Amino acid sequence: MKILLTGGAGYIGSHIAVELCNQGYEVIIGDNFSNSKPEVLNKINTIVGKEIEFHEIDFTNKEATFELFEKSNIDAVIHLAGLKAVGESCIMPIEYYRNNIVSTLNIAEAMKKYDVRNLVFSSSATVYGVPKELPLKEGMPTSCTNPYGWTKLMNEQILTDISKANPSFSVVLLRYFNPIGAHESGLIGEDPNGIPNNLMPYITRVAKGVLPELNIFGNDYPTKDGTGVRDYIHVVDLAKGHVDAIKFVETHAGIEIFNLGTGVGYSVLDIVKTFSKVNNIEIPYQIVGRRDGDVAECYADPSKAKEELGWIATKSLEDMCRDSWNFAKNN
């Protein structure tokens, strides 16, 4: 089976490419390097021991998208390409809506035209908005607090409507919790441009001495130690969930939603302490005010993915902290 991976040079996409190849799938990566580097492709090739087909493409370009489908004999699509910074989306909503919605429409239209029926879409736990009840289950109400989140929720709605109108279409929406960690080779991992927004890349830059200390956004939340609690998931576990989702779409029509998380919440201080212990590096930090838009706690009920995809997260927080540092110190 030949799988198109949009955004396949990115942090999550590069790990999915590796896992798909490990399972014998043929992979085509389409990416415009808007938040990734061409060197990642060589690293993926090194890990899998062969050259993966690559196309530099912007999926908001309909002509280019159709051309790729025309020439490539694609059997299924994993659609990850998109802008993904919450804060930036509040400053640049037009770019976020255009990029994230138009690319999905172009891909869905190309799939219809070229009779490609299987799609796995990269969604986010952000679509649960401010959780009223925990753990989060797929059927719970959705809402968003920022344009990035709305693009994920709108794409979910668009794909739901398309799958209703096209009963042979098979779609899986994967709601990711907080991916951290890196491939055990240390070759691929998360390497954002500029000052990181997310916790783990910030911690690794403090560990490297590039940034002086971590700012912990609030210690007055109603959590066990007052800091925010999230469901951190190893990116390799997350990537394996996509392989299971591809197997699922091959054999099921219609649309299904799955949480990809561990079901366990860790606080910011848990992460800092575990990172320090596993890697033997002190992470200096200061407590600052809460970050706008943050929720106290967010973690998944991943039982639906276990029952229907046969997927569970197997890596520990120690694995996540060790692998994040192993990548960061070499890159």
Q: Determine the Cα–Cα distance for residues 67 and 112; give it in Å rounded to an integer.
A: 14
Residue among 287 and 312 whose Cβ is closer to ligand UFG: 287
CB within 8 Å of 98: residues ≥ 6 apart = 60
145 binds ligand UFG (CB under 6 A): no
Stretch that binds ligand UFG, among 31-39, 159-167, 191-199, 322-330 (CB under 6 A): 191-199
86 binds ligand UFG (CB under 6 A): yes
Q: Give the nearest distance from C-beta 280 to ligand UFG in angstroms.
A: 22
Q: Determine the Cα–Cα distance for residues 79 and 81; give it in Å rounded to an integer.
A: 6
Give the helix ranges, DSSP H, for 23-92.
39-48, 62-72, 86-91
Using CB atoms within 10 A of its CB, is residue 168 exposed (0-12), middle (13-18) or buried (19+)? exposed
44 binds ligand UFG (CB under 6 A): no
Stretch that binds ligand UFG, among 37-45, 67-75, 213-221, 237-245 (CB under 6 A): 213-221
Binders in 148-167 for ligand UFG, by CB under 6 A: 149
CA angle, corner 328, sides to 4 and 180, nearest 5? 55
Residue among 8 and 261 whose Cβ is closer to ligand UFG: 261
Residue 96 is a catalytic residue: no
Q: Could you say which of 25, 169, 202, 275 contacts ligand UFG (CB under 6 A)?
A: 202
Annotated catalytic residue: which of 11, 96, 128, 148? Answer: 148
Q: Determine the Cα–Cα distance for residues 284 and 209; give it in Å rounded to an integer.
A: 10
198 binds ligand UFG (CB under 6 A): yes
Please give the order of strands across the beta sheet that includes 297-298.
266-267, 229-230, 297-298
Q: Give the nearest distance from C-beta 248 to ligand UFG in angstroms.
A: 23
Q: Indicate which residues carry an active-site annotation.
A: 148
